[in-house]
């Protein structure tokens, strides 16, 4: 036995050796070394910067674009030479996909960096606890306290209106909905998700302010925000209710529990984590809406705690207002407010997703 | 539980055990609690429909009042003088700006978004794919006013060199001609909108790509296909309608985007052949920036333009949803 093994190994080892001596194996395609992609990236970035400097291009965007084009071209040409056309196409696609990814990351990273960098300049305790009352537009100082109050109240009222309606609609669609009404509601919820925020604002404007002749107030803005929030809540709640295993409903109904108690005591508690997440994500979405506030709340420099009477401010509106003043001091305030708004929205998002993971309905295994 | 004593006294569920669930869920509520709850939830659904109808109705009412006073032709007039004694305003310039900037945004965003979606679903190393998807979702949450601020103060100054370059090489087309000036133009808006709709288009197409049947991919790989061939033959055909509907959703967003456009663009009425030169306007931007100075009639005119925007996004979103719904019906791959 031993003899045979030895025989075989020597055979196998010697056979290819002799064949490679005569001609290269046709079974194995020549490949670029593993470090080739990284090397090519480095090479094309170098070349791109070189060309950028040599031609005196002042925009870094151009340097990047030149590097990207070079990378694609060199990779394709080289691979087509060494590995063949099919592999070249594959590498072409790979490099394009990577470039797409980088193309997207660059502006988004720049946005985050710019906001944090410029926003942290004037952001401090005084900025968070003072309003713009008596601050000249070109003068540094002032703060966003009135805007935070406005945002919290408007978003709070919007949530109080939209969350129950959205939740009940989702319950209707999942637990009761059959037939034409349910189909219509499903379709229009989808369509409603796409309503531009300015259109929601115009609707409240024409109904509440022009036709019913109420004054501008935080409440009017909150109603528009509620319209934007409702479909988001319906969608996410619907998804969560669908995840609740049917066995739970059947078990409860089989015990003679009325359907409404089944929904309240069995279905909703099972899905509560996901529903909370959905509502919080919806809040995060409407907290950044500016357009309805511009139309309906009108903006105010001083603190107005009453959302039902008189103009208010809000964080996104404050950013817009400070931006349109157009001087360095107001730009700084706008960036700082943007930083606060982003932080608020991101924290809501992270907490919401944390809850979703923590309270995820346990599916049986 | 307190249910046990009542269960023997309530025979209906026991009479027809298999039908019991169906019977209750078909909407014939017998108990008062059930009736109230069904009424509440059905009422909420109807409220939603009523809101949609009310939006269309009230916008139309105000728009009709504005159009009655309009001296110009609403569709073809190239100016917006809604506040004067003889109001004359038209949607042509704004509609042009809205559609063109949204189309530029689509041309830039959709290929890149599909690339990122493929990157996350098929190219990225496992360890970073999931966090990446997460980051993309987070970016969808950045408020549009922040994009606007960034676009006006950060992006615009960086684009001048690029536009000069476009002008040097493609200026002869007329479309990409650039005369010096701040590049607050439709093309800039297109770039900004593209960045804004990237996350939504990416996350929808990524979902679809992740659902593409593993068997097809493995079969293609087993036949010796390269990764690109696998994607071209099994992932993209499967995801095509998903990509289309994702793009339409993005298009809807781009059409209705207000604040980012209002911060970057300075309105001037007139349609230019060059997309790089400053000027132009979109419907939403015109409403936001013209609202404060508008008189009562001016507000009605703005509402009329808002109605056009509403109908436009309604059609785009409706079409997107129908495409998705059709895919659900015909695709057996998810089963």
| Chain B contacts in chain A segment 37-96 (CB below 8 A) | 57-62, 65, 86-87, 89-90, 92-94, 96
Cα of A3 to nearest chain B Cα, Å = 37
**Total count of residues recorded for chain B:** 335
Residue pair B90/B79 in contact (Cβ under 8 Å)? The answer is yes
- For residues B268-297, give the mean pLDDT: 80
| Chain A contacts in chain B segment 66-105 (CB below 8 A) | none
- The pLDDT, as a whole number, for residue A363 is 55
CB-closest option in A184, A202, A256 to B287: A202
- The rounded percent of chain B whose pLDDT value lies above 90 is 20
* Band (B14; pLDDT cuts 50, 70, 90): very low
- Give the separation between CA A203 and CA A198, rounded to whole angstroms: 9
| Chain B contacts in chain A segment 213-242 (CB below 8 A) | 227, 230-231, 234
* Band (B29; pLDDT cuts 50, 70, 90): low
- The pLDDT, as a whole number, for residue A234 is 93
Q: What domains can be seen in chain B, in order of their start residue?
A: 92-330 (1.10.3720.10)
CB-closest option in B17, B115, B158 to A96: B115
- The pLDDT, as a whole number, for residue B1 is 38
- The pLDDT, as a whole number, for residue B55 is 92
Cα of A114 to nearest chain B Cα, Å = 8
Q: Please report the DSSP string for A271-296 in residue order.
A: HHHHHHHHHHHHHHHHHT--HHHHHH
Q: Does B212 have pLDDT greater than 80?
A: yes
Instruction: Using a CB–CB cutoff of 8 Å, tell me whether A288 touches chain B.
Output: yes
- The pLDDT, as a whole number, for residue A304 is 85
Pairwise pLDDT comparison (B173 vs B5), residue with the higher score = B173
CB-closest option in A189, A263, A323 to B152: A323
* Band (B327; pLDDT cuts 50, 70, 90): low
Pairwise pLDDT comparison (A20 vs A257), residue with the higher score = A257
* Band (B331; pLDDT cuts 50, 70, 90): very low
Residue pair B284/B136 in contact (Cβ under 8 Å)? The answer is no
Q: Which residue of B has its CA nearest to A103?
A: B112
The SS3 of residue B139 is helix
- Among the listed ranges A59-68, A355-364, B98-107, B204-213, which one has the minimum average pLDDT value? A355-364
Give which of A315, A311, A321 is closest to A214, Cα–Cα: A311
Q: What is the dihedral of CA B233, B235, B238, B242, to 10 degrees?
A: -140
* Band (A192; pLDDT cuts 50, 70, 90): confident
Which DSSP symbol is given to B80? E
- The pLDDT, as a whole number, for residue B16 is 42
- Give the separation between CA B199 and CA B215, rounded to whole angstroms: 28
Q: Does A51 have pLDDT greater than 80?
A: yes
State the pairing for strand pair B88-89/B80-81.
Answer: antiparallel
Contact criterion met (CB < 8 Å) for B321 and A288 = no
- Mean pLDDT (chain B) is 81
- Give the separation between CA A247 and CA A249, rounded to whole angstroms: 5
- For residues A332-357, give the mean pLDDT: 89
| Chain A contacts in chain B segment 48-67 (CB below 8 A) | 48-49, 51-52, 54-55, 58-59, 61-62
- For residues B184-194, give the mean pLDDT: 89
- For residues B194-204, give the mean pLDDT: 89
- The pLDDT, as a whole number, for residue A191 is 84
* Band (A339; pLDDT cuts 50, 70, 90): very high
* Band (A7; pLDDT cuts 50, 70, 90): very low
- Give the separation between CA B64 and CA B84, rounded to whole angstroms: 18
Contact criterion met (CB < 8 Å) for A345 and B291 = no
Contact criterion met (CB < 8 Å) for A256 and B41 = no
Q: Does A328 have pLDDT greater than 80?
A: yes
- Give the separation between CA A342 and CA A287, rounded to whole angstroms: 10
Pairwise pLDDT comparison (A61 vs A347), residue with the higher score = A347
Instruction: Using a CB–CB cutoff of 8 Å, tell me whether B309 touches chain A.
Output: yes
- The pLDDT, as a whole number, for residue B332 is 42
A34 CB-near residues (< 8 Å, 6+ apart): none
Q: Where are the alpha helices (DSSP H) in chain A?
A: 2-22, 36-55, 60-82, 85-119, 125-129, 145-171, 179-193, 197-204, 218-243, 246-254, 259-262, 268-287, 291-296, 315-325, 328-358
All residues of chain B having their beta carbon less than 8 Å from the beta carbon of residue A185 are: 45-46, 48-49
All residues of chain A having their beta carbon less than 8 Å from the beta carbon of residue B155 are: 107
Cα of B335 to nearest chain A Cα, Å = 16
Cα of B101 to nearest chain A Cα, Å = 16
- The pLDDT, as a whole number, for residue B109 is 93
All residues of chain A having their beta carbon less than 8 Å from the beta carbon of residue B263 are: 320, 323-324
- Give the separation between CA B98 and CA B312, rounded to whole angstroms: 10
The SS3 of residue A308 is coil
- Give the separation between CA A357 and CA A354, rounded to whole angstroms: 5
The SS3 of residue A251 is helix
Q: Where are the alpha helices (DSSP H) in B90-235?
A: 92-118, 126-139, 144-150, 156-170, 186-211, 214-222, 227-230
- The pLDDT, as a whole number, for residue A173 is 92
- The pLDDT, as a whole number, for residue A27 is 67
* Band (B21; pLDDT cuts 50, 70, 90): very low
Q: Does A14 have pLDDT greater than 70?
A: no
Q: Does A20 have pLDDT greater than 60?
A: no
- For residues B233-259, give the mean pLDDT: 87
| Chain A contacts in chain B segment 232-271 (CB below 8 A) | 249, 252-253, 255-259, 262-263
- Give the separation between CA B241 and CA B198, rounded to whole angstroms: 18
* Band (A360; pLDDT cuts 50, 70, 90): low
Q: Does A162 have pLDDT greater than 90?
A: yes
- Give the separation between CA B40 and CA A171, rounded to whole angstroms: 10
Q: Does B58 have pLDDT greater than 50?
A: yes
Q: Which residue of A has its CA nearest to B139?
A: A108
Cα of A195 to nearest chain B Cα, Å = 7
Tens digit of each residue's pLDDT (9 = 90 or more) over A229-288: 999 999 889 988 988 889 999 999 999 999 899 999 999 998 888 888 889 989 988 998
Cα of B158 to nearest chain A Cα, Å = 6
All residues of chain B having their beta carbon less than 8 Å from the beta carbon of residue A60 are: 158
The secondary structure of B200-246, three-state, reads HHHHHHHHHHHHCCHHHHHHHHHCCCCHHHHHHHHHHHHHHHHHHHH
Task: Measure Cα distances from A166 to A195, A198, A331, B316 in Å.
Answer: 16, 21, 38, 23
- Mean pLDDT (chain A) is 84
All residues of chain B having their beta carbon less than 8 Å from the beta carbon of residue A295 are: 287-288, 291
Pairwise pLDDT comparison (B228 vs B139), residue with the higher score = B228
CB-closest option in B37, B142, B227 to A260: B37
Pairwise pLDDT comparison (B107 vs B82), residue with the higher score = B107
Contact criterion met (CB < 8 Å) for A288 and B146 = yes
pTM above 0.90, yes or no: no
Q: What domains can be seen in chain A, in order of their start residue?
A: 31-119 (no CATH), 145-358 (1.10.3720.10)
- For residues A308-319, give the mean pLDDT: 88
A128 CB-near residues (< 8 Å, 6+ apart): A143, A144, A145, A148, A340
Instruction: Using a CB–CB cutoff of 8 Å, tell me whether B157 touches chain A.
Output: no
Contact criterion met (CB < 8 Å) for B299 and A349 = no
Task: Measure Cα distances from A195 to A92, A159, B244 in Å.
Answer: 39, 18, 19
Pairwise pLDDT comparison (B26 vs B70), residue with the higher score = B70
Residue pair B45/A175 in contact (Cβ under 8 Å)? The answer is no
Q: Which residue of A has its CA nearest to B12?
A: A256
- Give the separation between CA A109 and CA A96, rounded to whole angstroms: 20
Give which of A193, A9, A293, A148 is closest to B245, Cα–Cα: A193
- Give the separation between CA B167 and CA B149, rounded to whole angstroms: 26
- For residues B30-49, give the mean pLDDT: 88
CB-closest option in B13, B113, B287 to A254: B13
Instruction: Provide φ and ψ at A63, rounded to 5°.
Output: -55, -50
Residue pair B244/B323 in contact (Cβ under 8 Å)? The answer is yes
Instruction: Using a CB–CB cutoff of 8 Å, tell me whether B173 touches chain A.
Output: no
* Band (B307; pLDDT cuts 50, 70, 90): very high
Contact criterion met (CB < 8 Å) for A295 and B155 = no
All residues of chain B having their beta carbon less than 8 Å from the beta carbon of residue A113 are: none
Q: Does B318 have pLDDT greater than 70?
A: yes
- The pLDDT, as a whole number, for residue A52 is 79
């Amino acid at each position: 036995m031993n003899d045979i093994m030895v025989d075989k190994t020597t055979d196998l080892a010697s056979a290819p050796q002799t064949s490679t001596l005569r001609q290269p194996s046709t079974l194995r395609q020549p490949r670029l070394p593993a470090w080739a992609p990284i090397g090519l990236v480095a090479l094309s970035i170098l070349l791109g910067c070189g060309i950028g400097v040599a031609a005196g291009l002042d925009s870094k965007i151009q340097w990047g674009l030149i590097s990207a084009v070079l990378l694609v071209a060199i990779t394709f040409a080289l691979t087509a030479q060494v590995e063949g056309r099919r592999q070249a196409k594959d590498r072409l696609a790979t490099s394009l996909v990577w470039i797409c990814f980088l193309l997207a990351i660059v502006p988004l990273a720049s946005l985050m960096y710019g906001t944090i960098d410029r926003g942290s300049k004037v952001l401090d305790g005084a900025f968070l606890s003072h309003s713009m009352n008596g601050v000249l537009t070109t003068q540094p100082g002032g703060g966003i306290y009135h805007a935070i109050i406005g945002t919290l109240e408007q978003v709070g009222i919007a949530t109080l209106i939209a969350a129950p309606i959205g939740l009940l609609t989702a319950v209707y669609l999942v637990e009761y909905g059959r037939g034409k009404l349910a189909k219509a509601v499903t379709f229009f919820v989808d369509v409603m998700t796409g309503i531009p925020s300015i259109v929601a604002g115009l609707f409240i404007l024409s109904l509440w302010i022009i036709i019913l002749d109420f004054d501008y107030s935080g409440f009017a803005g909150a109603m528009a925000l509620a319209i934007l929030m409702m479909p988001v809540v319906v969608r996410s709640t619907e998804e969560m209710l669908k995840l609740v295993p049917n066995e739970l409903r059947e078990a409860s109904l089989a015990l003679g529990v009325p359907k409404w108690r089944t929904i309240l005591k069995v279905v909703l508690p099972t899905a509560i984590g996901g529903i909370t997440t959905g509502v919080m994500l919806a809040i995060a979405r409407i907290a950044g809406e500016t357009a309805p506030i511009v139309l309906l709340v009108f903006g105010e420099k001083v603190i107005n705690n009453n959302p039902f009477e008189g103009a208010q401010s809000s964080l996104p509106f404050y950013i817009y207002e400070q931006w349109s003043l157009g001087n360095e001091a107001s730009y700084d305030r706008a960036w700082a407010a943007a930083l606060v708004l982003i932080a608020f929205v991101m924290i809501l998002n992270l907490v919401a997703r944390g809850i979703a993971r923590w309270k995820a309905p346990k599916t049986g295994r | 539980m307190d249910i046990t004593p009542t269960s023997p006294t309530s025979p209906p569920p026991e009479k027809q055990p298999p039908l019991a669930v169906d019977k209750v869920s078909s909407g014939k509520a017998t108990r008062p609690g059930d009736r109230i709850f069904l009424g509440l939830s059905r009422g909420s659904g109807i409220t939603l429909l009523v809101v949609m109808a009310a939006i269309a109705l009230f916008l139309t009412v105000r728009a009709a009042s504005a159009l009655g006073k309009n001296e110009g032709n609403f569709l073809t007039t190239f100016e917006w003088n809604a506040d004067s004694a003889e109001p004359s305003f038209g949607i042509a310039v704004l509609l042009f700006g809205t559609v063109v900037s949204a189309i530029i945004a689509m041309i830039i965003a959709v290929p890149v978004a599909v690339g990122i979606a493929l990157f996350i679903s098929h190219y990225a190393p496992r360890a970073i794919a999931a966090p990446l998807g997460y980051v993309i979702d987070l970016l969808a949450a950045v408020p549009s006013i922040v994009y606007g601020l960034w676009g006006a103060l950060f992006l615009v100054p960086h684009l001048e060199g690029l536009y000069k370059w476009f002008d040097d090489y493609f200026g002869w087309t007329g479309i990409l001609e650039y005369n010096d000036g701040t590049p607050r133009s439709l093309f800039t808006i297109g770039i900004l909108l593209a960045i804004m709709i990237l996350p939504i288009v990416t996350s929808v197409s990524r979902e679809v790509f992740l659902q593409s049947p593993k068997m097809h991919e493995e079969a293609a790989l087993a036949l010796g296909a390269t990764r690109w061939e696998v994607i071209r033959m099994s992932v993209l055909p499967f995801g095509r309608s998903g990509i289309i509907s994702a793009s339409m959703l993005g298009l809807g967003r781009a059409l209705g985007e207000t604040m980012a456009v209002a911060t970057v663009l300075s309105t001037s009425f007139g349609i230019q052949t060059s997309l790089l030169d400053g000027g132009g306007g979109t419907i939403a931007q015109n409403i936001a920036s013209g609202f404060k100075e508008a008189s009562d009639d001016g507000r009605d005119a703005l509402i009329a333009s808002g109605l056009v925007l509403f109908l436009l996004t309604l059609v785009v979103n409706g079409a997107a949803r129908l495409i998705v719904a059709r895919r659900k019906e015909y695709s057996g791959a998810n089963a």
